Amino acid sequence: MQNELGADNLQIIAVAIDEDVEKVKAAAEGINYPVLIDAQHLLSELYGISNVPTVVMIDENDRIARPNWSASGNDAFREFSGIDSDRQHDRIRRWVREGDAGTTEDEARAAVPDYSADDEAAQLHFRVAAELRRRGDDEGAARNFDRAAELAPHDWTIRRAMLPLRGEDPFGQGFFDLYGEHQAAGSPYRGLHGY
Amino acid sequence: MTNDLALIDDGPLINTDALPESLGWALKDEGLCRDDRCVLVPDRDALTSGDMIDVTAVAALLDRPALVDETSGLVAVGAERGQRRAGINQLQAPDFSLPNAAGELTSLSEYRGRKRLLVAFATW
């Protein structure tokens, strides 16, 4: 998409909300736009991102043309930066070429709820946990991961991101359990679904 | 570029001299200052105790969330609430500066003047 729309003044910026530098490096192989690493989940907090992949469309003047946007239903993003469906591509093309993101201001403003105090605390506990883990304080890490999970049970940048940091497979049973819990809660997502 | 996060050891009371290094802000006569911004400190005594300063009180003045992990003494300070809210409520995209795998920093504002597709992903 960068190749297709670069000449029309689009710049893709991919950000991994992720601690695993090696895995991100591998994923960034051959990519012709910046692939950045957000190990401390700054973007989760700044943009209220609760799951990935999430796309935010930002115009030339730093206005958010279309906020936190996820693939709908069971659509999988083909690559971490790609958007699988033609309809999603079309929306992006229309925005880049015609300046129309097809999103009203009201819709955009209503899309992402602000962080509650619990959401804020959850992010902080996650960071503390990750740091304590780095320092070899496993008990301190567990204490803080547990608290983060309690405070933000539907934030996957917390619940799922912590699985590999706790020695669990993010594609294994822990993930399935999380997915089931998430679905039972109505699959909450902070942002826009669909095409 | 003030959108950063902090993890501070042995808090919440730290040496006032260590504040710039820990949080990027300095306590001056004008208040709490960073680059060309200063924030008024209405009650200096609520912030400091001798040579020491309470980073959670500083965070509150900067309208940033803060947390103390009592057992480890680690203090985490989050981003400015105003930045997040400007994005969510007023659609003003918060700036950020992050490294690639080689450690080179890129910021959102570096590409101002272009439409930007911010794609957040993960390997988990």
Rounded CA-CA distance A63/B17 in Å is 38
Q: How far is it, in rounded angstroms, from Cα B38 to Cα B68?
A: 25
- Residue A74: predicted pLDDT: 34
Among the partner-chain residues B65, B117, B123, the one whose CB lies closest to the CB of A20 is B123
Per-residue pLDDT tens over the stretch A172-192: 898 889 989 988 998 888 999
A76 shares its domain with A156: no
A55 and A92 fall within a common domain: yes
Q: Is residue A58 one of the residues assigned to a domain?
A: yes
Q: Is residue A10 part of a domain?
A: yes
Residues A25 and A96 grouped into a single domain: yes
Which of A52, A78, A111 is the last residue in one of the domains? Answer: A111
* A55 and A126 co-located in one domain: no
pLDDT of residue B34: 95
SS3 call for B65: coil
> Could you report the predicted ipTM of this complex, rounded to two decimals?
0.95
pLDDT for the residue A143: 97
The predicted pLDDT at position A89 comes to: 84
Assign A73 a pLDDT band (cuts: 50, 70, 90). very low
Interchain contact A29–B (C-beta under 8 A): no
Of A100-109, A170-179, B69-78, B112-121, which gets the smallest average pLDDT? A170-179
Does residue B12 have a cis peptide bond before it, meaning omega lies within 30 degrees of 0? yes
| Total domain count, chain A | 2
Give the nearest chain B residue to A98 (CA atoms).
B115
Same domain for A130 and A106: no
Sheet holding B6-8, edge to edge: B6-8, B74-77, B66-69
Indicate if A58 and A100 belong to the same structural domain.
Answer: yes
CA A141 to chain centre: 22
A82's tokens:
């790609």
Spatial neighbors of B3 by CB under 8 A, at least 6 apart, are A42, A46, B79, B80, B83, B94, B95, B96, B97
Query: Are residue A63 and residue A139 in the same domain, yes or no?
Result: no
Q: Is residue A193 part of a domain?
A: no
The pLDDT, as a whole number, for residue A75 is 37
Q: Do A60 and B112 touch (CB under 8 A)?
A: yes
Instruction: Please say if the pLDDT value at position A141 is more than 90.
Output: yes
Q: Which residue has the higher pLDDT, A171 or A135?
A: A135
Cβ distance B122 to A123 less than 8 Å, yes or no, reads no
Report the residue from A1, A9, A164 with minimal CB separation from B114: A9
Residue A125 lies in a domain: yes
Nearest to A47 among B71, B87, B90 (CB): B87
Question: Are A90 and A36 in a shared domain?
Answer: yes
User: Domain check: are A24 and A10 in the same one?
Assistant: yes
Q: Based on the domain organization, do A92 and A139 belong to the same domain? A: no
pLDDT tens digit string along A151-163? 999 999 999 999 9
Do both A33 and A87 map to the same domain? yes
Is residue A189 one of the residues assigned to a domain?
no
Q: Which phi-psi region, left, alpha or beta, contains residue A30 (left: φ > 0; alpha: ψ -120 to 50)?
A: left
Rounded CA-CA distance A115/A152 in Å is: 10
- CA dist list (Å): B14 to A4, B62, B123: 52, 17, 37
Which of A89, A111, A133 finishes a domain? A111
Q: Which range, of A58-62, A168-172, B8-12, B75-79, averages the lowest pLDDT? A: A168-172
Contact B89 A20 (CB under 8 A): no
Q: Is residue A29 in a domain?
A: yes
What's the confidence (pLDDT) of residue A97? Answer: 96
Tell me the pLDDT band of A78, cut-offs 50, 70 and 90.
very low
A84 band by pLDDT with thresholds 50, 70 and 90: low
Based on the domain organization, do A58 and A97 belong to the same domain? yes
Give the domain-ending residue among A95, A111, A127: A111
Residue A85 lies in a domain: yes
Any domain includes A172: yes
Instruction: Identify any residues that bridge with A64 across adjacent strands, giving them in sequence order.
Output: A58
Q: Which domain holds residue A145?
A: 117-184
Mean pLDDT, residues A17-40 taken together: 95
pLDDT for res A79: 46
Beta sheet of B52-54, edge-to-edge order: B13-15, B52-54, B48-49
Residue pair B117/A92 in contact by the 8 Å Cβ criterion: yes
pLDDT 10s digits, A93-139: 999 999 999 999 999 999 999 999 999 999 999 999 999 999 999 99
